[in-house]
Amino acid sequence: MNSAHVVSAGIVTRVRVWSDASQVIPVTFTDTLLPGSCFDSYLLQRTWQATDLCGQTVSKVQTIFVNDVTPPTLSAPPADISVKCGHVPPADTNAVTALDNCDPIGTTSIVVFDTPPNAPCGSTITRTWVATDFCGNSANVTQLIFVSPHHNASSIAGLSVLLCIVMSLLGLYLI
């Protein structure tokens, strides 16, 4: 078979032979999938074949490596909050959603945990959502939960700032 020229872009479906520009030769391919280390990582061997009107056949193998190294993306976590001691809301796996470029929607696993668990009064909890895809790529988002003995911790923080400003204006300093 003489040298061939690709006529269509993208997936090759036919070629035109240089020696006889009127002869169009169909091109076919077959795929062989060789599994990799995970669902979204594999080796694809694509064998292209063209046969001219004289029965001459040429085959070429194209090797395509597919390797998922991209972590899922997560929606934003709930806003940071301040809560009264003993009123920390339970962790909700559904508060954050995950999408992955390779896995079907809804198949990326999400876990949520608090650090430290059962935090004492006056501490800050970091609530973390972690999404992991089929190939073990993961991403996380966090929410801070301020645990305070006061009913409204944000107003107490504001009062502390105001007290510091007044003390500074009066020339009073705590050592």
CATH number at residue 92: 2.60.40.10
Q: Do 42 and 83 share a structural domain?
A: no
pLDDT tops 50 at residue 24:
yes
Q: Do 85 and 41 share a structural domain?
A: no
Tally of structural domains, the chain = 2
Q: Do 56 and 95 share a structural domain?
A: no
For the whole prediction, is pTM greater than 0.75? no
What tens digit of pLDDT does each residue of 86-116 get?
899 999 988 999 999 888 776 788 999 999 9
DSSP states along the chain: ---EEE-SSSS--EEEESS-TT-EEEEEEEEEEEEEEETTEEEEEEEEEEE-TT--EEEEEEEEEE---PPPEEPPPPPPEEEETT-PPPP-GGGS-EE-SSSPTT-SEEEEEEESTTPPTT-EEEEEEEEE-TTS-EEEEEEEEEEESSS-HHHHHHHHHHHHHHHHHTT----
Q: Average pLDDT of 120-133?
A: 93
Q: Do 145 and 103 share a structural domain?
A: yes
